[in-house]
Amino acid sequence: MRIRNRQVSGEVSIRTPPWNRATSRTRQLRRGSTYAGRRPKGRLRRGRVAIESTPVVAAEPAQPPGDRATVASVSTNATADHPRMRAMLVLVGTLTAAYVLWQLGFAQARWTWRILALNGVSLGLAVAAFAPYCWRIPLWLTYHPVPALQVEDPRLPEITVVIPAFNEGPTLFESIRSILGSDYPAAKLRIIVVDDGSTDDTAQHAHRAALLDPARVSVIAQPQNRGKRRALYAGFAHVQTPIFVTVDSDTVLPRESLRALVTPLVCDARIQAVAGRIDVLNRNDNLLTRMLAVQYRLAFDFIRAAQSQLGSVLVSPGAFSAYRMDAVRGALDAWVGQRFLGAYCFNGDDHALTNVVLGQGGLTVYQSNAPARTSVPRTFKRLALMYLRWSRSNIRESTLWMAFLPGLARRRDRWPAMLDGVAHFIQLPARIALAPVATLTFLLNPALLLSAIFSTIVASGVYALMFLRSERSYDAAYTGLYAVFSLLTLWWLYPVALLTVRQSRWLTR
C-alpha cells in the first residue's frame, strides 16, 4: 500500500490505492480504530478524504471477539429487525423459484385449444377490468389536497356532525370525545348522535358523552333498530347548519380533520360533497388488519385521489364525509325509501347519497389531509360479509349511475368524468365474468394457477410503489400478500353479489 502524507495549512491528505481501500477500511474496523463508526469530516473526491486537523488520539486497544458482533450488528440490513418482512421475502422467493422450475419444464401444461381460448378470454376480461388505471395513474400523480383553512379563519362555516350508532358501547364515547377535541371553532360545531335501538349500553355511553358538552351534543333515541339509513335520516331532520358531516360510531378523528374536510366546500361553490381519508384504527391487531390498512390507503390515496381530479368521487364514505345540506335536502325522502328491483335498500347509504349529488351535476372531491381512523374486521368471515355488502351496493348504485350519462354528455367539461364512470361500470361485468372463466381455466390446468399467483405478485409491485408515495413503511410488502389473498379467497364476491343483489341486509351488525 502506498500512503502519501502532506501537511497543507492544517490538512492531512491520505491517498489509498483503489484496489486496497476496502481492505484498509476493514483493518481499521478490526483494530478498533477511532475512525471506526465515525463519518470523516470533509468531502469525498476521487478517492481522497480530506480530514480537518484534530488532536491526535491514540488508537484504542483492539476489541475482544465478543464486542465485534455488537459493532457488526449496527451495519446489518434493516430487514433483519423485521421478522414479517423476512417471512414475506422468503414466501416471494419460494413462489418465484417454483414458477421458474415450472417454466423450465418440471410441470407439463397441456396447451389445448380450450385452454388457449379460456386463457385468452381471461386475459381480455382482466384488461377490461383494469383499463381505468391507464388514466388514473397520471391523475393520481398530479393530485394535491386543498390546504386546510386556519382555525381563526372567519370563512369556516357552521357544521353538524351526525353519528348513527347501534350496539357500539364505549367505542361511541371515544368517537364523540375525539370530535369534541377537534380544533374546529366550538361555536360552529354541533353533534347529533342517533341511537338506532341499541340493545347494549350504547345509550348510556352516548348520554355520558353528551355531558361533556351538553350545549353542542344531543342524543336521539330510536325506539327500535331500523337500519343505518333510517338513523341518518332521523339525524338529518335536526340539522340546521348549511353543512353536515357523517361519522361512523367506531371512527375517531384527529384534531385538524374537520377543518380540512370542509375547506373545499368553502373555496368552491361547485363542490357539493367531500370525502375524507379512512385509515385503519386497529391496524396492528393481526395480519388481516395490516393487509387491510394497506388496501384502505390505496383505495383512498390512489383511486379517490384520481377521481377527485375529475370532480367525480363515486363513493364518499359514510365513515367521514361532508355534504351541503341544500344539495341533498330535496332528495332525502327518495333516498331513505329507495327501492331496487322491488326491494328496499338498507345498505350502500353512502354510495346512494353520493349519487344524489352526482345526479344533480354537483362535484365530489377527496381530501387526503382529512384523515379518520375506523375499525376493520379482524376475521375473514366478517371481512367477507362486509365486502359482500359493498359489492351488492356497488352493482346497484353503479347501474343507477348510468342514468346520469345524458346529463354528463351535454356538458363537455364533464366528459372525462363520464368516461371514468363508464369504465368503472364496465369493470363490474368484467369481474363477474372473470371469476368463473378463470376458475374453469385453473380446473382444466392447475399449473396455470401458479403462473397467475406469480403474475399477481409482480403486478402488486405497482401498488407497493403507490403506497410508498403515501407512507414510507415496510408495510408496502403487504400489497403483494393482499393481492394473492384476494385472488385465492375473494374471487367469488361479485358473482354472488350479482345473484343476491336484491338482498340488503347489513350482515355485520
Which of 4-8, 32-36, 339-343, 351-355 has the largest mean confidence? 351-355
In the chain, the percentage of residues whose pLDDT exceeds 90 is: 58
Alpha-carbon distances of 444 from 127, 149, 428, 432, rounded to whole Å: 22, 59, 25, 20
CA distance linking residue 175 with residue 251, whole number of Å: 6
Q: What is the pLDDT of residue 430?
A: 81
What's the distance, CA 457 to chain centroid?
Answer: 18
CB-facing half-sphere around the CA of 227: CA atoms within 13 A: 15
Give the least confident one: 209-223, 309-323, 416-430, 489-503. Answer: 416-430
Mean pLDDT of the chain: 81
Does 388 reside within a domain? no
Q: What is the pLDDT of residue 82?
A: 53
Residue 86 φ/ψ, nearest 5 degrees: -60, -40
User: What cell was used for 441?
Assistant: 381455466
Average pLDDT over residues 318-326: 97
User: What cell was used for 263?
Assistant: 375547506
What HEC string does 389-441 produce?
HHHHHHHHHHHHHHHHHHHHHCCHHHHHHHHHHHHHHHHHHHHHHHHHHHHHH
Give the least confident one: 38-52, 266-280, 302-316, 365-379. Answer: 38-52
Name which of 200, 204, 350, 180 is nearest 273 in CA terms: 350
Q: Which positions ≥6 away from 208 have C-beta within 8 Å?
A: 173
CB 165 within 8 A of CB 194: yes
Q: What is the pLDDT of residue 261?
A: 98
Alpha-carbon distances of 36 from 26, 28, 32, rounded to whole Å: 9, 7, 7
The residues with which 252 forms a beta bridge, in sequence order, are: 373
Does 200 reside within a domain? no
Q: What is the pLDDT of residue 203?
A: 92
Q: What is the pLDDT of residue 389?
A: 94
Q: Which positions ≥6 away from 23 have C-beta within 8 Å?
A: none
User: What cell was used for 362?
Assistant: 354537483
Does 94 reside within a domain? no
Give the least confident one: 86-90, 141-145, 178-182, 360-364. Answer: 86-90
Centre a 10 Å sphere on the Cβ of residue 453 and count the other Cβ atoms it contains: 17
How confident is the model over 38-70, as pLDDT tens digits? 444 444 444 443 334 334 444 444 444 444 333
Name which of 456, 388, 468 is nearest 91 in CA terms: 456
CB 415 within 8 A of CB 409: yes
Return the CA Rg of the chain: 29
How many helices and strands in the chain, by DSSP H and E? Answer: 20, 14
Alpha-carbon distances of 199 from 64, 386, 476, 505, rounded to whole Å: 67, 22, 40, 18
Assess whether pLDDT exceeds 70 at residue 496. yes
Does 35 reside within a domain? yes
Average pLDDT over residues 308-335: 96
CA distance linking residue 501 with residue 341, whole number of Å: 9
Assess whether pLDDT exceeds 80 at residue 26. no
Does 135 reside within a domain? no
CA distance linking residue 92 with residue 96, whole number of Å: 6
User: What cell was used for 312?
Assistant: 367525480
CB 222 within 8 A of CB 231: yes
Q: What is the pLDDT of residue 462?
A: 86
Average pLDDT over residues 472-495: 93
Assess whether pLDDT exceeds 90 at residue 37. no
Q: Which positions ≥6 away from 155 have C-beta within 8 Å?
A: 149, 266
| Total number of domains in the chain | 1
DSSP state of 320: E
Alpha-carbon distances of 148 from 178, 189, 227, rounded to whole Å: 19, 16, 34
Domain that holds residue 21: 7-76
CA distance linking residue 509 with residue 228, whole number of Å: 10
CA distance linking residue 248 with residue 207, whole number of Å: 17
Does 66 reside within a domain? yes
Assess whether pLDDT exceeds 60 at residue 351. yes
Does 286 reside within a domain? no
DSSP string covering 446-480: THHHHHHHHHHHHHHHHHHHHHHHH--SGGGGHHH
Average pLDDT over residues 346-364: 95
Does 483 reside within a domain? no
Centre a 10 Å sphere on the Cβ of residue 509 and count the other Cβ atoms it contains: 12
Give the least confident one: 100-104, 299-303, 446-450, 471-475. Answer: 100-104
Looking only at the bridges linking them, the beta strands covering 189-196 and 159-165 are parallel
Assess whether pLDDT exceeds 80 at residue 463. yes
The residues with which 189 forms a beta bridge, in sequence order, are: 159
User: What cell was used for 231?
Assistant: 338513523
